[in-house]
């Protein structure tokens, strides 16, 4: 075997690290990542509208503990995470920055007028959805943009529901082997808010303590096999 063949590594998705299918050869991001990003972008205008309505109710709200002047109606405490998403530097600005970077890469006019944030968010998401196939195929920084869109969607959803999602911790690599015997190897994470661990690459789930013990034994066996090799 020559050195070139020995040094060759199969191309992977820049966003998730999963090996690309043969039909995806040459792409920067895999189709599952592209599909998830389209879904998140499509949901952002609705999330923004709801956040903007919530923010309008908060404008002029008094701080908690402020004098009520005899009013029996309690003040609405301002939630800064909501206000920051609908204001300058929020959802519209962050989507605009991604659109501008794509336009610059394509040689198109940068920063077209989109109107107010409420008017701009649907326009930005429409542009990004329409041009995502190109970006997933040929844009070198698509991994960062996919992650930015994911985080923006998470922030909007959490701000709207008022929920803070539990943090996640790494719990080892996925030991599930394919037909050739090669372990999946994707990093698994677990949350204190759910008993379920799911591999984002092969889709295998472990949903209770017994399954977690099976997972740990399989990981230890995979480690021993790797060490022996």
Using alpha carbons, list the distances in angstroms from residue 136 to 50, 61, 140.
29, 43, 9
Is 66 within the bounds of a domain? no
Provide the 3-class DSSP secondary structure of residue 79: coil
Encode pLDDT of 79-128 as tens digits: 677 888 988 889 999 999 999 999 999 999 998 888 899 999 999 999 99
Question: 42 and 111, same structural domain?
Answer: yes
Is 180 within the bounds of a domain? yes
The counts of H helices and E strands in the chain are: 7, 4
Confidence (pTM): 0.61
The 10 Å Cβ neighbour count of residue 103 is 16
Instruction: Indicate the number of domains in the chain.
Output: 2
Q: Which of these three, 121, 147, 165, is where a domain ends?
A: 165
Question: 175 and 84, same structural domain?
Answer: no
Question: 161 and 218, same structural domain?
Answer: no
Is 25 within the bounds of a domain? yes
Encode pLDDT of 183-193 as tens digits: 888 888 876 55
Q: Which of these three, 142, 165, 188, is where a domain ends?
A: 165
Question: 111 and 189, same structural domain?
Answer: no
Give the residue numbers spanning the domain of 210. Answer: 167-229
pLDDT on residue 2: 52
Q: What are the structure tokens assigned to 62, written together?
A: 């008094």
Question: 127 and 184, same structural domain?
Answer: no
Question: 191 and 104, same structural domain?
Answer: no
Is 68 within the bounds of a domain? no
Question: 181 and 131, same structural domain?
Answer: no
CA dist 80 and 85 (Å) reads 9
Question: 177 and 161, same structural domain?
Answer: no
pLDDT one digit per residue (tens) for the chain, 229 residues: 455 455 557 778 888 888 888 777 789 899 899 999 999 999 999 999 998 887 655 554 444 344 444 444 434 445 677 888 988 889 999 999 999 999 999 999 998 888 899 999 999 999 999 999 999 999 999 999 999 999 999 999 988 886 555 556 778 889 888 878 788 888 888 765 566 788 888 888 887 767 877 888 888 887 776 655 5
């Amino acid at each position: 075997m020559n050195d070139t063949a020995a040094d060759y590594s199969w191309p992977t998705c820049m966003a998730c690290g999963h090996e690309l299918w043969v039909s995806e050869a040459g792409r920067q991001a895999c189709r599952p990542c592209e599909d998830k990003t389209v879904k998140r972008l499509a949901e952002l205008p609705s999330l923004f509208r709801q956040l903007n309505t919530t923010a309008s109710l908060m404008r002029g709200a008094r701080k908690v503990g402020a004098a009520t002047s005899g009013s029996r109606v309690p003040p609405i405490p301002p939630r800064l995470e909501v206000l920051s998403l609908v204001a300058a530097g929020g959802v519209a600005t962050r989507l605009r920055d991604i659109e501008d970077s794509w336009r610059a890469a394509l040689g198109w006019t940068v920063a077209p007028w989109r109107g107010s944030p409420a008017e701009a968010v649907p326009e930005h998401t429409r542009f990004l959805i329409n041009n995502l196939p190109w970006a997933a195929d040929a844009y070198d920084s698509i991994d960062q943009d996919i992650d930015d869109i994911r985080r923006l969607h998470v922030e909007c959803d959490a701000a709207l529901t008022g929920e803070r999602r539990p943090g996640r911790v790494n719990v080892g690599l996925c030991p599930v082997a394919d037909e050739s015997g090669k372990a999946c190897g994707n990093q698994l994470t677990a949350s204190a808010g759910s008993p379920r661990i799911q591999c984002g690459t092969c889709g295998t789930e472990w949903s209770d303590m017994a399954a977690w013990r099976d997972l740990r034994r399989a990981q230890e066996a995979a480690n021993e096999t790797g060490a022996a090799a």
